[in-house]
Structure 1
Amino acid sequence: MPATPPEPAVRGLIDAMTSVFPQVGTELDDAVQARALLGAAPKSPAPVVPVADVRDRIIPGPGGDLPVRIYRPLGSQESDVLPVVVFLHGGGWVLCSIDSHDQTCRSLANATGAVFVSVEYRLAPETRFPGAAEDAYAAYIWARENAAEFGGDPARVAVAGDSAGGNLAAAVPLMARDRGAAQPTFQLLLYPVVDHRRATDSYTENATGYFLTAAQLAWFWRQYIGPDGDPAHPYASPGTAEDLSGLAPAFVVAPALDPLRDEGVAYAERLAAAGVPAEYRVYEGMFHGAISMGALVPSAAAAFADATEALRKALA
């Protein structure tokens, strides 16, 4: 059933965001140019969300040095041992960075009381699949093995991500299971990309007009997988993996106005069918990328509250 159209104020926000976002897949095909255009877009005037501490550091990655940014939530003490969330940013595996998602991580850390480790994974097309997934997995293993260095609890390490970062966050539990590593405590998947086939009703209903488009998603997949890659590999398309048993509990945020809505719902349902504690919620009036826009998008405020509550409970 098609989603309810957005309220006029939300419609205006969608149009404003669309006007400054690179129209890859239609008007633009070059990743470097797309990054430059996005970098030149007006920045939010919102003040920086305060946290207790922020530190940038370099950890070992499969392709060399891997930058991460570690956030301790407001009100925490240096002596506190806190749960950990390894966060993977969105951007179609091509765009964005730990800087673009700095405010998001600050807000999530404060709302959950967890240490957030945001990962600057390698981007496509310069590094194609499985580069980003391997970086995500390496950061997760590093966080478990080195949590004590930054006041984290190695027994409580979750993964989270939005959009393409949700894809990477979903890949990590599969990789951990297949490689004999400990499962994450939880996986928080914010409008994740999980199915390369792009054949759901929401891809048709929300193909254009709600910020993220079906054409952009097709372009992002081409950049990430490349001409010779396998988009059906379970670490690229977790939603097509044959076996989803034994994975970390999950919560999936599915905006009603998102081309990715139905594949997120289907993934949560498949996890549950495989015996994994998994929930999803569809948010009417919410569009892709809006998790931190609760002041302007009421359904996004509800999604943020639900997502952080699920994460807090899992990490308690």
Structure 2
Amino acid sequence: MPLAPEYEAMFSALAEEPGPKISDLSPAEGREMYRVMRAVNPELSIGAVEDRQIETEVGSIPIRIYRPSTEGPLPIVMNFHGGGWVIGDLDTADSVCRGLSEAASCIVISVDYRLAPEHVYPAAVDDAYAATCWAAANADELGGSGKLAVTGESAGGNLATVVCQKARDENGPRIDFQLLAYPVVDHDLSRPSYDENGEGYLLEKSTMIWFWDHYCPPERRNEPAACPLLAESLADLPPAVVLTAEFDPLRDEGKAYADALAAAGVPAKLICYDGLVHDFLATAAVFQCSRAAFEEAAAELRQGLA
């Protein structure tokens, strides 16, 4: 299927006035560029939004709690923002978190985990898992119903998968569902989707190399907490829905993870959206072509927590 017309128009406009690639910037410059990109999304009004600092065994972690207009108790969903473990923050994830909270009638907790290269692997993993344990332990105070899920986009999807594996392996909190949006699950950049979509479709191969080089040293990239697809076993993990996009270099590894989960006996559903590119959930507020995908993702989350 061809690229969706709205994306075609966006890329044509960008081609006329090309800006710098993230891979040519410093982490600080990349973070600022990402904030500007995400700031175009309109702010959806929901029940309540609260910023909080939580104390955990790995230190103090900023979080943002989103409550829908629906009355509780409600399921709790941990959200880990995208950005290659290097860029992104609570504000860049705000639009997606608001939308998911309202559409799926859940309490979303967005985690401002530590970023690389200032804090390399496994700092982000430690923060994501510690925040999830905190939420599970404080579910009653938060207004939780007893159901817990994890979700994330791209590198945030990586953290969501790793949190599920750690919870299983370390007798951690029960996680009922995982919604993984175009997750990074392997450091192998040789899959066909990298050849087909490695340039010109928002996320590029050069950017992924930049992310990996800032986040995790090569000698540790085969560890399951860095590349969850390489885990010795994927059995006994929560049911999963994996979202991928046709024009995304991460498409094939997302499919590989969904297939591996299913082979291990985990209920896993793969949805690949034709015509869309990486990061499509974040454009749902402004692009009609990705709105249906967002609505389907929210419906899958709601169903997974029913």
TM range (shorter): over 0.9
Alignment match of 1:34 (pick from 30, 45, 59): 30
User: 1:296, CA displacement in angstroms?
Assistant: 5.2
Cα 1:9–1:300 change in 2 (3 A) is: closer
Alignment match of 2:53 (pick from 51, 58, 61): 58
User: 1:43, CA displacement in angstroms?
Assistant: 3.0
User: 1:292, CA displacement in angstroms?
Assistant: 3.4
Cα 1:42–1:240 change in 2 (3 A) is: closer
Q: Percent identity?
A: 43
Matches for 1:1-316 after TM superposition, within 5 Å? 4-15=1-12, 23-25=21-23, 27-28=24-25, 30-40=26-36, 43-44=39-40, 46-74=41-69, 76-77=70-71, 80-153=72-145, 155-226=146-217, 229-294=219-284, 297-316=287-306
Cα 1:21–1:135 change in 2 (3 A) is: farther
TM-score if structure 2 supplies the norm length?
0.94
Gaps of 5+ in 1: none
Cα 1:190–1:14 change in 2 (3 A) is: farther
Residues 109 and 115, structure 1, Cα contact 8 Å, conserved in 2: yes
Gaps of 5+ in 2: none
Cα 1:289–1:145 change in 2 (3 A) is: same
State the alpha-carbon separation in 2 of the partners of residues 139 and 128 from structure 1. 18
Secondary structure of the corresponding residue to residue 138 of structure 2: helix
Secondary structure of the corresponding residue to residue 284 of structure 1: strand
- 1:195-219 CA distance string (max 9 Å, x none): 1112211011001011100110111
Cα 1:16–1:239 change in 2 (3 A) is: farther
Cα 1:12–1:135 change in 2 (3 A) is: same
State the alpha-carbon separation in 2 of the partners of residues 16 and 168 from structure 1. 33
TM-score if structure 1 supplies the norm length?
0.91
Q: CA RMSD in A?
A: 1.9
- 1:74-105 CA distance string (max 9 Å, x none): 2x23xx21001000000110111011111110
User: 1:38, CA displacement in angstroms?
Assistant: 3.4
State the alpha-carbon separation in 1 of the partners of residues 268 and 279 from structure 2. 21
Residues 22 and 37, structure 1, Cα contact 8 Å, conserved in 2: no
User: 1:270, CA displacement in angstroms?
Assistant: 0.3
- 1:149-204 CA distance string (max 9 Å, x none): 12112x20100000100000010111011101233110000000001112211011
Secondary structure of the corresponding residue to residue 282 of structure 2: coil
Residues 81 and 111, structure 2, Cα contact 8 Å, conserved in 1: yes
